[in-house]
Amino acid sequence: GLITQGEKYNKVVDAWSECTNQVADKMLETISSPVERKPVNSVYIMAHSGARGSAAQLKQLAGMRGLMAKPSGEIIENPIKSNFKEGLSVLEYFTSTHGARKGLADTALKTASSGYLTRRLVDVAQDAVIKEVDCGTLNGVVVEEITESGNITSPLTERILGRSPVEDIIDIEGNVILEKGNIIDETHIESINLLGERSMKIRSVLTCETKEGICSKCYGRDLARGTPVNIGEAVGIIAAQSIGEPGTQLTMRTFHIGGAASASVEQSSAISPINGKIKSDKLKFINDANNNKILLTRNAIVKIFSNDEEKFSLRIPFGSRIFFDDNDKVQTNQLLADWDPYTLPIIAEKDGYIKYVDLKQGVSFRETIDDITGISSKIIIDWSQNPKSKNLKPSISIVKFLDQEIDSDELLKLNYPMSIDTILGIEDGNEVKAGQVIARIPKESSRTKDITGGLPRVAELFEARKPKDPAIMSEIDGKISFGKDYKNKRRLLITSIDEKDEIELLIPRAKYLTVQEGDFVKRGDILVDGTPVPHDILRILGVEELAKYLVREVQSVYKLQGVFINDKHIEVIARQMLQKVLVIDSGDSTLLVGEQIHKETVREINKGLEDENKSLVKYEPVLLGITKASLQTKSFISAASFQETTKVLTEAAIQGKVDTLNGLKENVIVGRLIPAGTGKITTAYNEIAKKRDFAKLRSQAKIEENTENYNQ
């Protein structure tokens, strides 16, 4: 079929951004290659050494300027093909003025919000200081390489450099490359690369068991010196500044680049990254009229094995064309599947005739005629707003014969409910073949990914806010079925495999479900498209998955701008967000169910209960946003100096709180030496000196007492 104007626009923008990237790569390749008897290009040296400028700016100087954005944030289809060295034509110059102006306005507006983010981060992380060398924990987090559309964007070795492994690293011949607890440095990278590992368990700040602080082994290498981190280093503040500082750059980055739009190209095919054998679990296929294999499994995962070892796993979306069979041998760069990245298809599973159910023009769908092509398309509209049509259930059924009645059970199996904005691809009463697309759901058209979208995104992640359109995740492994609908919501049931648990979810009819009747889902699979809610990830998948999610999302925002931040900084902030727990069962303690309390406090209470053989407190971790976490620290002085001073102080007074002056901020405020850096050592020596003086005085008092007794 023909494509809509919107689809054409998406494809054009994609083609041009791909072109711009290729020009940039070729240009960088040429500019960086050495020429005999000529010095290295000075502009390249400036950018490459990190002194000033970036690859993105070189691209505009010597490559092509690329796509620009309208003031509304949409991308203009025609790119600027010249660069600054060649000079722009009058029209190109005019197009680029949008960007320049947008950049200046952005800079003025965003500096403030970036500064505020830094302040909140510093406040939440200020008391994370290195307290001891080794906490002795056996836990860690599993770190994997990050792949995007089959390309490795950050390899494993890059992510584990400067961290300690939980177990010894052993090479193929059984020799120990590195003992556990030692830091992985540049000398080990090559031998680890030879192992071909895809993931490794390393010590992390998140699993560190030091009381009121962090240990040196869990943190790893001091990024400023390249040595193991010293005791007393204020890693919390370093982390906060490392995340906050690029924020100030990023806000101005639009200005640096002059509003050149950076749209990321959508992935539309799966390519085998290596030679190997392909294995896929129970995938459901259907052959369409052109004899293509169409995938009917949702969340399909295909694994590629080499020497009977799993090397890669690829996700292939529903409705893709498949070019392989199970157990096939595949070559590097072989095409395995392709799909349309901008729409989610709804596919006919059997031959038959189309029957519209509750689809009425002007009520549940509208017909629009494209001005340019003159082709009409039917788009589903929100029918639940109108009281007359509130109880409609718009859907398409496939029937064997046109005059068949709609009530039989056989029909319900081949009934496809329609969600809002779906484009109907076929007329009522038409004949369809199995594998044909009967409707498609458009994904968002590519808006520019500018850090303006990025900074609020970082703030949203660290504040642990619920996103606007949240994704709904499956809480258990099980089978999907649909119950009786409730008003204008659909009732989704997940029955566990042993049929002991059943979870019922009510989902608005207009939302698009990624699952269908009879599908199997795993715990944490997404049932309704949207942005995942961090609290759900923590509850369903646990602390480690949540930390991975936070690191991945924050990194993706900064990576788009070419800013590199070490993962451990984000982990330090995540640790501070996870320091409270919720009491589920109070056991034999004096705590209340539903109380939020510090993790360390609960652990101490449990230790005491264990020694007396009493029943322990049961608890689950809670995620707090950075503002909330700062206001709930143990120290009321630091909380009062942050925000809501009167509230914090009145509450502290009512509870009769005591501030032990453990963190940095409270000590700065009362004018003591801060417990970090040399101050930490000085305070430690002072403690020792006090103890010695006290012991001396006691022994002296004893001697005097003895002499007196003797004299008497």
336-347 pLDDT, tens digit per residue, is: 888 887 777 888
This model's pTM is above 0.95: no
Domains of the chain: 5-106 (1.10.132.30), 130-233 (no CATH), 271-339 (2.40.50.100), 345-442 (2.40.50.100)
How do residues 160-205 score in pLDDT, each as one tens digit? 888 999 988 888 888 888 888 888 888 888 888 888 777 888 999 9
pLDDT given at position 258: 42
Q: How far apart are CA 395 and CA 393, in angstroms?
A: 6
Q: Is the pLDDT of residue 483 over 80?
A: no
Residue 324: phi, psi to the nearest 5?
Answer: -145, 165
Confidence label for 574 from pLDDT (cuts 50, 70 and 90): very high
Exposed e or buried b for every residue in 484-500, given b needs 16+ CB within 10 A? eeeeeebebebeeeeee
DSSP 135-159: ------EEEE-EEETTEEEE-HHHH
Confidence label for 445 from pLDDT (cuts 50, 70 and 90): very low
Contact (CB, 8 A) for 159 and 143:
yes
Pairing relation of β-strands 309-316 and 300-306? antiparallel
Residue type, 560: L
Q: How far apart are CA 185 and CA 596, in angstroms?
A: 40
| Percentage with pLDDT > 70 across the chain | 92
Contact (CB, 8 A) for 504 and 527:
no
How do residues 345-370 score in pLDDT, each as one tens digit? 888 888 888 888 888 887 888 888 76
What is the average per-residue pLDDT within 286-290? 81
CA distances from 200 to 159, 197, 393, 648, 687 (A): 10, 7, 49, 43, 41
Contact (CB, 8 A) for 571 and 140:
no
CA distances from 479 to 410, 417, 495, 502, 525 (A): 20, 19, 5, 10, 12
The segment with the largest mean pLDDT, out of 415-424, 434-443, 612-621, is 612-621
Comparing 441-445, 464-468, 511-515, the range with the smallest average pLDDT is 441-445
Confidence label for 372 from pLDDT (cuts 50, 70 and 90): low
How do residues 72-124 score in pLDDT, each as one tens digit? 767 888 899 998 899 999 998 998 888 788 777 777 777 888 888 899 999 99
Rg (CA), the chain: 31
